[in-house]
Amino acid sequence: MPTLYGVFRSRASRPVWLMYELDMAFDHVPVIQAYRLPQASAPDAQLNTTSAAFLQVNPQGQIPAYVEGDLTLTESLAITNHIARTRGGDLGPRTPAEQALIDQWTLLAVTAVEGPALEIQNIVGAGGDQTPEGQGAIAICAEKLRRPLKRLETHLAAHSHLVGDRFTVADLNLAECLRYAQGHRTLIAEFPAVQAWLAACHARPAFQRMWTARLAEPA
C-alpha cells in the first residue's frame, strides 16, 4: 500500500484529493512543516520536516513525499500525475496525446500560476491587502496571472474541462494551484469560464472531503 507523508495543510492536499477521487487506500503519515512548531528539534516534537526519520524519506525536508514500493516521489504534481497515469482510470490519460496535454497544463500550473497565486494568498493572509504596499504587490501578481488566465478562459469557453472534456488530473493540478489566488475575487471574476470551472472542481465530493479534513487540522 502506498504511503503519503504530509499534513493536509500543505501541498499534500493535491495527492490526497486525487486518492479520494479514486477511493484509493493509502497509509497517511502526518508530517508537519518544521516552521509551524515552536521547537521542531525538541525530543518530544511532532514528526516534522526536520525529523531524522522523515529526512530518510526526503533529504530535502519538504512535504509531501509518496512511497510506493521502491519508488519515492517528492514533488506533489509528480505524485498526482504518477497516480493518475498508473491507477487513475479516466482521471488519467487515455492516449499519449492526452498524457502530453496533462503534462502541458500541469507545467503551466506550476510555472505560470502557482507562484503569483501563492504570493497573493500570503499577502492577503498577512493582512497586506489593507496596505498600499500590499495592494501594489497584489496588483503585480494579478497582472502576472492574467496572461495564463486568458489562455485558460479561451479554452474553457469551448470545453468543459482541460483534457478530453472530462475531469482529469490536469484539472485537479491546475485548480489546486489557482486556489491560492481566490482571495483576489475581482481577478477571478474577470474570467467567468475559469470561475465556473474552478467552482465545479471545488464542488466535487472528493475535494470537499479533503477540504473538511484540512480545516479540521490546527492552522
Distance CA 72, CA 14 (A): 16
What are 42's three cell numbers? 525538541
Structure confidence by residue, pLDDT tens digits, 118-166: 999 999 989 988 999 989 999 999 999 999 999 999 999 999 999 999 9
Partners of residue 163 on adjacent β-strands = 166
Burial class (CB in 10 A: 0-12, 13-18, 19+), 216: exposed
What are the distances in angstroms from CA 13 to CA 53, 84, 172?
22, 15, 10
- In the chain, the domains with their CATH numbers are 3-87 (3.40.30.10), 96-207 (1.20.1050.10)
Structure confidence by residue, pLDDT tens digits, 33-70: 999 999 999 999 999 999 999 999 999 999 999 999 99
What are 150's three cell numbers? 486568458
Distance CA 78, CA 198 (A): 21
Residue found under cell 479534513: 213
HSE on the CB side for 193, CA within 13 Å? Answer: 14
> Are β-strands 3-5 and 65-68 bridged in parallel, bridged antiparallel, or unpaired?
antiparallel
Four-point Cα dihedral 204, 124, 13, 78, nearest 10: 110
Say which amino acid occupies 145: L
Neighbour count for residue 69 (Cβ, 10 Å) = 7
Distance CA 202, CA 125 (A): 20
Structure confidence by residue, pLDDT tens digits, 60-77: 999 999 999 999 999 999
Partners of residue 5 on adjacent β-strands = 29, 65
pTM for the whole thing? 0.95
> Are β-strands 65-68 and 27-29 bridged in parallel, bridged antiparallel, or unpaired?
unpaired
